[in-house]
Amino acid sequence: MEIFLIDKIVLIVAVFGITLLFALYSTYAERKVAAFIQDRLGPNRAGIFGILQPLADGVKFFLKEEFIPAHADKALFILGPSVSMTTALMTSAVIPWGNSLELFDRVISLQITDLNIGILYVFAVVSIGVYGIMIGGWASNNKFSLLGALRASSQMISYEIAMGLSIIALVMTTGTLSLGEIVQQQNGSIFGISGASWNIIYQPLGFLIFMICAFAECNRTPFDLPESENELVGGYHTEYSSMKLGFFLFAEYTNMFISSAIMSSLYFGGYNFPFMDQLGLSHNLVTILGTTFLFAKIVMFIFLFMWVRWTLPRFRYDQLMRMGWKMLIPLALINIIITGLLIVVLK
Amino acid sequence: MHSLSNRSKVVVKKEMTLTEKMYLPAILGGMLITIKHFFKRKPTIQYPEQKREFSKVYRGKHILKRDEQGRENCTACGLCAVACPAEAISIVAAERKKGEEHLYREEKYAKTYEINMLRCIFCGLCEEACPKDAVYLTEELAPANFDRSNFIFGKDKLVQPVGTSAHPKTYKPYKK
Looking at the predicted structure, is the pLDDT value of residue B51 above 70? yes
Mark A251-270 as b/e (b = at least 16 C-beta within 10 Å): bbbbbbbbbbbbbbbbbbbb
Confidence of residue A197 (pLDDT cuts 50, 70, 90): confident
Query: Could you tell me how many residues make up chain B?
Result: 176
Cβ neighbours, 10 Å, residue A197: 17
Residue B31 to residue A311, Cβ atoms within 8 A: yes
Instruction: Note the Cα A78 to chain centre separation in Å.
Output: 24
**B27: nearest CA partner in chain A:** A312
What was the pLDDT predicted at B175? 43
d(CA B49, CA A33): 23
| Residues contacting residue A93 through CB under 8 Å, at least 6 positions apart | A12, A15, A112, A113, A121
| Number of H-type helices and E-type strands within chain A | 13, 2
Looking at the predicted structure, is the pLDDT value of residue B176 above 60? no
Q: Looking at beta carbons, which residues of chain B come within 8 Å of A308?
A: 31
Looking at the predicted structure, is the pLDDT value of residue B170 above 60? no
Question: Which long-range contacts link B146-149 to residues 24+ away (Cβ below 8 Å)?
Answer: B148/B118
Strand partners for A107: A102
Residue A37 to residue B37, Cβ atoms within 8 A: yes
More confident residue, A214 or A193: A214
**Chain B: nearest CA to A311, how far in angstroms?**
6
Find out whether A210 and A163 touch, Cβ atoms under 8 Å: yes
Q: Find the helix or strand (DSSP H, E) in which B98 lies.
A: none
Looking at the predicted structure, is the pLDDT value of residue B173 above 80? no
Looking at the predicted structure, is the pLDDT value of residue B169 above 70? no
Mean pLDDT of all residues in A142-147: 84
% of residues, chain A, pLDDT over 90: 12
Of B27, B37, B40, the CB nearest to A312: B27
Q: Looking at beta carbons, which residues of chain B come within 8 Å of A307?
A: 31, 34-35, 38
Residue B30 to residue A312, Cβ atoms within 8 A: yes
Looking at the predicted structure, is the pLDDT value of residue A181 above 80? yes
Looking at the predicted structure, is the pLDDT value of residue B174 above 80? no
Interface test mutation site (partner A, options B23, B33, B34, B44, max chain A beta carbons within 10 A):
B34
Confidence of residue B116 (pLDDT cuts 50, 70, 90): very high
Mean pLDDT of all residues in B147-151: 91
Mean residue pLDDT of chain A comes to 86
Interface test mutation site (partner B, options A30, A304, A310, max chain B beta carbons within 10 A):
A310
In DSSP notation, A161-226 reads HHHHHHHHHHHHHH----HHHHHHHTTS-BTTBTT---HHHH-HHHHHHHHHHHHHHTT-TTS-GG
Residue A307 to residue B44, Cβ atoms within 8 A: no
Residue B37 at interface with chain A, using a CB cutoff of 8 Å: yes
**Chain B: nearest CA to A41, how far in angstroms?**
7
More confident residue, A322 or A229: A322
Residue A311 to residue B27, Cβ atoms within 8 A: yes
Q: Find the helix or strand (DSSP H, E) in which B79 lies.
A: helix B79-83
Which value does ipTM take for this structure? 0.78
C-alpha triplet A301, A306, A309: angle, nearest 5°: 125
Please report, for residues A7, A107, A161, A297, the alpha-carbon distance to residue A284 in angstroms, rounded to integers and kept in the order given: 16, 10, 39, 20
Confidence of residue A301 (pLDDT cuts 50, 70, 90): very high
Residue B43 to residue A39, Cβ atoms within 8 A: yes
Mean pLDDT of all residues in B14-30: 85
Looking at the predicted structure, is the pLDDT value of residue B115 above 60? yes
Mean pLDDT of all residues in A213-220: 86
Measured between alpha carbons, how far apart are the two ends of chain A, in Å? 43
% of residues, chain A, pLDDT over 70: 99
Which amino acid, one-letter code, is at B127? E
Strand partners for A103: A106
**Chain B: nearest CA to A320, how far in angstroms?**
14
Peptide bond before B143: cis, by omega within 30 degrees of 0?
A: no
Confidence of residue A334 (pLDDT cuts 50, 70, 90): very high
**A331: nearest CA partner in chain B:** B22
Mark B95-131 as b/e (b = at least 16 C-beta within 10 Å): ebeeeeeeebbeeebbeebbbbbeebebeebbbebbe
Looking at the predicted structure, is the pLDDT value of residue A241 above 50? yes
